[in-house]
Amino acid sequence: MYMSSFFNYYRIGRFIFALALLISFQIAGLPYAIPRLMFILAVYSFLALLRLAVFTKKIHYFDFLLDIVFISAIVYISFGIYSYLTLLYLFPIFFSSVIIKTKKIFLFPVISAVLYGASYYISGVIAEKESILNISLHFLSFSLIALAGDNLKERMEKQEQHIKDLEEEKIKMKGYERLYRVSADLAHELKNPLASISAAAQFLNEGKNDREFIDMLSTETKRLTTLVNDFLLFSRPSDAPKEDVDLSETLKSLVNRQNSDKNSDKKITLNVINDAEVVANRTFIEVALNNIIRNAIEAAKSEVKISLKKVRSLEFGVQSLERILIEIEDDGTGIDDDMKDKIFEPFVTTKTNGTGLGLAIAYRIITGFGGNIIIDRSSLGGAKFKILFPAKG
């Protein structure tokens, strides 16, 4: 990952350097003194701009070869005048050794030395001892800078792997921390009904066959059963068998079920579109939506509104993706801001008789099938749960 970013920075820096060099030579009046040099600079600047405009994550050796050929050309044209220009070889050699594979780090030092030697050969001074020494020293410096770049690459790779290991360890520790917290909360939730059952059993063992103790046993046993079943549902993996689920029909079925409850006097308004299918598990989706609807009904004073529609969202500012949006809102007191980040955690509840697993189960199921839940303020005055699913297809 960092290699691709490093390469992009190199291409940007190369274009800026080429442009700055072109402007500097223009100010120095070299177009009149050495017109060929200005022509080569102009061509190189154009190619650098072209390579910058053609965005690619793939690293091409052509880029480094282009730079070395360009430097060799200006070294040859200014041969004997601007000897310090040979320092420019160090930049493509260093960056290539950082980016390319270790076995090929001497490829560009050799090419650079050969092209630099060609300047001496064309000029007719290759046979001189000073020329051979100069070329040899340049090749040595090219090789050393390549080794330095390769050493830096190894350090960067080790550092990146170390950071990756730390992040994985951090995620693992967070998982353990969450497991410990959930286990502690579960133990706490089990403690109260078990204490009631133990007390009732003790009274019955003493011969106190009061109906109140039998009812206590029945109530607390049901509470334990509900708690265990909810926890098992929460802990189940999200790789359940998937199928096409029509959310319109699912919501209609759940609302009809709630309306048939004679103990509820809350008004439920349903407004859905047809043909709203997602790929998920039908049973799990019903459980998730039913938990949120039931939560809204319990929080509402008199009214709950449920709507389903299709929306389009822009990702990366280019592609328009179709999603299915479900909004479940009530006219209750709403959810405090400090509770919004905790409301989907296990055993977090504001109800006196709640297990605190309903919304946690809903969140895990919905996100497990590629959806998301957002809590907002309802125009009715209470809470609004916005559920987004990727549309089928």
pLDDT exceeds cutoff 80 at 145: yes
Alpha-carbon distance of 35 to 303, in angstroms, equals: 83
351-358 long-range Cβ contacts below 8 angstroms, 24+ apart? 351/298, 355/189, 355/226, 355/227, 355/230, 356/185, 356/189, 357/227, 357/230, 357/231, 357/233, 357/234, 358/230, 358/291, 358/292, 358/294, 358/295
pLDDT exceeds cutoff 70 at 184: no
pLDDT exceeds cutoff 60 at 179: no
Residue 128 DSSP SS3: coil
In the sheet with 372-377, reading across from the earlier edge strand, the strands are 267-271, 303-315, 319-330, 383-390, 372-377
The residue whose two tokens read 């040099």 is 37
Out of 90-94, 205-209, 267-271, 384-388, least confident range: 205-209
Bridge pairing between strands 267-271 and 383-390: unpaired
Residue 327 DSSP SS3: strand
Which domains, and CATH codes, for the chain? Answer: 60-235 (no CATH), 243-390 (3.30.565.10)
Q: What is the pLDDT of residue 33?
A: 63
Under the banding of pLDDT at 50, 70 and 90, the label for residue 12 is confident
**Higher pLDDT among residues 55 and 221, named by residue:** 221
pLDDT exceeds cutoff 70 at 3: no
Q: What does the mean pLDDT of the chain come to?
A: 78
Out of 118-122, 222-226, 272-276, 283-287, least confident range: 222-226
Per-residue pLDDT of 324-381, as tens digits, reads: 899 999 988 888 777 777 778 776 666 655 556 778 888 888 888 888 888 888 888 8
In 126-240, where do the E strands start and end? none
Under the banding of pLDDT at 50, 70 and 90, the label for residue 175 is low
**Higher pLDDT among residues 169 and 180, named by residue:** 169
**Higher pLDDT among residues 182 and 169, named by residue:** 169
**Higher pLDDT among residues 145 and 121, named by residue:** 145
Q: What is the pLDDT of residue 316?
A: 41
Q: What is the pLDDT of residue 327?
A: 92
Q: Is the pTM of this model over 0.85?
A: no
CB–CB of 355/233 below 8 Å?
Answer: no
Per-residue pLDDT of 216-250, as tens digits, reads: 777 778 777 766 766 666 666 556 678 888 888 98
Q: Which residues pair with 389 in a beta bridge?
A: 324
